[in-house]
Amino acid sequence: MKTFFKAKKTLLLSAMVVSVILLGAQLEGQSLSADTAEALRRIEEVFLLVNKRYVEEVDPDQMARSAIKGMLENLDPHSIYFDAAQLQGENEQFEAAFEGIGISYELLEGPDGADTLAVLNVLPGGPSEEIGLQSGDRIIQVDGRSTIGYTDSDVKKNLKGPRGSKVRVTVQRPGVGTNIDFDIVRDKIPIYTLDASYMMENGTGYIRLNRFARTTYVEFMKSLRTLKRQGMERLVLDLRGNRGGYMEMAVDISDEFLKNGQLIVSQKGMTDDSKESFYATSSGLWESGPLMILVDAGSASASEIVAGALQDHDRALIVGRRTFGKGLVQKQYMLRDGSALRLTVARYFTPSGRLIQTAYEDGDRSDYYANKAAQRRSDGTQTSADLLEGIADSLKYQTDSGRTVIAGGGVIPDYIVPPDSLSPLMRAVLGPSLENKFIRTWVDLHGASIRATWGETQERFVASFKVDDKMVDAFLSYAAERGVVVGDRSTQATESANFTTDELAEVRDELHALLKGRLGTRLYDRSAWYPVWSKVDHLLIESQKLWNPADDLALQYAEAL
């Protein structure tokens, strides 16, 4: 029944990227006020005068871009102009697909500072997986031309391309004496927005979404059904670092948790078509089970729609840290040259009436983001109760059951989990990404035997692979050569950060999880990282101590309707 209702929904505006409209076609035939017409003529006059009379030759395209950006500077921080090249990358992320050979890559520092191109992961379902490219392969030629010194721009220009076109890549594979040629037919490559979905302990399901793109609801529902078949009794939806995307996806996912007729989000703008409210329909897939939402300062926009709706209806326990605070709705307008204007057209409000937008002044982006960074630092030492103190009554709202929540500056979790401070040793490792670089060399040396042992069995790898003393010793030697010394290891590094074996023992679990997680990511993809890192993920571990209040919320919600 719910599918029928969803099919009948109007295409929703997005909290980040909305419908694409050709601006010229939309404005054609619309009359302008006398003041607006006069202002437009003044801009045109100045543009033509500068172009024709300025003492030096000017670039009219650059002038136009600067003028557009100047117009936006005095608006809000989220109204943005994209040139055609920038727009392509943006659209790929939210359309959840691109056309190419199907790899994620990294540029490795090569001789004389010239980077070399290496395969980080072969994307599932793409042509590179089909023809046998592997993580760790060095792509040394593309169509017979050397890739030494490649930049990101070179990779996109030469490896991306229209579906059905062909490209030949020459690969140097660690442990193989001769180069290998692969002829690859480019295809449409899906970009998955669901990072991980798996069963934790005690019947707890876990789903992590990295953004809200066109395919997110389909991915989410597939995982939710799988977890239910596996006996899920409670669910963690992890939205940490999820900066948002299509409002439609946030509404549809919220709908799976809420009862028929409950308000999910409303939006209000200057025009009639920007004023709308969205409600839950019937037969959600997880309308009564205990639910926990994890958020942090990187959770924004569509993520906050989900968290705000479920908090206001007392449907889920919100755990983590204060969210970003983006309560504005953008609509994307295509310009004639292939560039686009993403313009804020409305504000959105949670079911209780909260506007969670962070305050801004005249579109000043630098102050806006600097203030958000300062807020994140202060939030780390406070509880939810602390953040509610001193708040003006005008910013206080009530959930369905009468709990107090506040507007402005993001969604404040029901339970705040302060960030766990990293030890000096872990900072020394993570700063230069030593663990990642080490795992790359480890896979180069042992990749064949690792793949022979674990093959495609990601679940078995996660459950059974152990980081042994040999691997740890090899990593410590690698780190010592690069200035991070543990114990009395000899090193030729001119500058060293020295740590004791006791300090190593204190971070043993984190280090083992770090090495195993990076290895799993290279062998499979990012989905292998999360179940490994969950064993030491401070916020996730702390959240699992809060199922009693989450269970109570679920029971009260069921009884209230």
How many whole angstroms separate alpha carbon 365 and alpha carbon 343?
15
Matching residue, tokens 């896979």: 443
Give the residue among 388, 451, 448, 447 at the shortest CA–CA distance from 416. 388
Annotated catalytic residue within 326, 331, 372, 516: 326
- Separation between Cα atoms, residue 346 and residue 37, nearest integer Å: 24
Cα–Cα distance measured from residue 388 to residue 205, given in angstroms and rounded to the nearest whole number = 31
231: left (phi over 0), alpha (psi -120 to 50) or beta: left
Which of these, 322, 333, 325, lies nearest to 359 by C-alpha position?
325
Question: Is 52 noted as a catalytic residue in this protein?
Answer: no
- Inter-axis angle of helices 302-312 and 247-255, nearest 10: 30
Residue 326 designated active-site: yes
Instruction: Decide if 301 is catalytic.
Output: yes
8 Å CB contact between 307 and 323: yes
**Spatial separation of the C-alpha atoms in residues 417 and 251, rounded to whole Å:** 27
**Tokens of residue 505, six digits:** 């023992």
Instruction: Single out the catalytic residue among 115, 187, 255, 312.
Output: 312
Q: How far apart are CA 459 and CA 532, in angstroms?
A: 10
Separation between Cα atoms, residue 433 and residue 428, nearest integer Å = 9
Residue-level length of the chain:
561
HEC profile of 337-393? CCCEEEEEEEEEECCCCCCCCCCCCCCCHHHHHHHHHHHHHHHCCCCHHHHHCCCCH
Instruction: Show Cβ contacts of residue 455 under 8 Å, excluding neighbours closer than 6 positions.
Output: none
Please tell me the distance from the alpha carbon of residue 114 to that of residue 6, in angstroms, as a whole number. 52
| Contacts by 220-229, CB closer than 8 A, 24 or more apart | 220/194, 220/253, 220/256, 221/256, 221/285, 223/194, 223/197, 224/256, 224/285, 224/286, 225/285, 226/197, 227/197, 227/199, 228/285, 228/286
Q: Could you identify the residue written with the tokens 């504005």?
A: 328
Write out the two tokens for 285.
């897939």
Is the CB of residue 142 less than 8 Å from the CB of residue 111?
no
Q: Which two tokens stand for residue 492?
A: 């030729």
Do residues 425 and 487 lie in contact, with contact meaning Cβ atoms separated by under 8 Å?
no
CA 299, CA 238: separation in Å to the nearest integer? 10
Catalytic residue of the set 79, 301, 339, 534: 301
- CA-atom Rg of the chain in angstroms: 26
Residues identified as active-site: 301, 312, 326
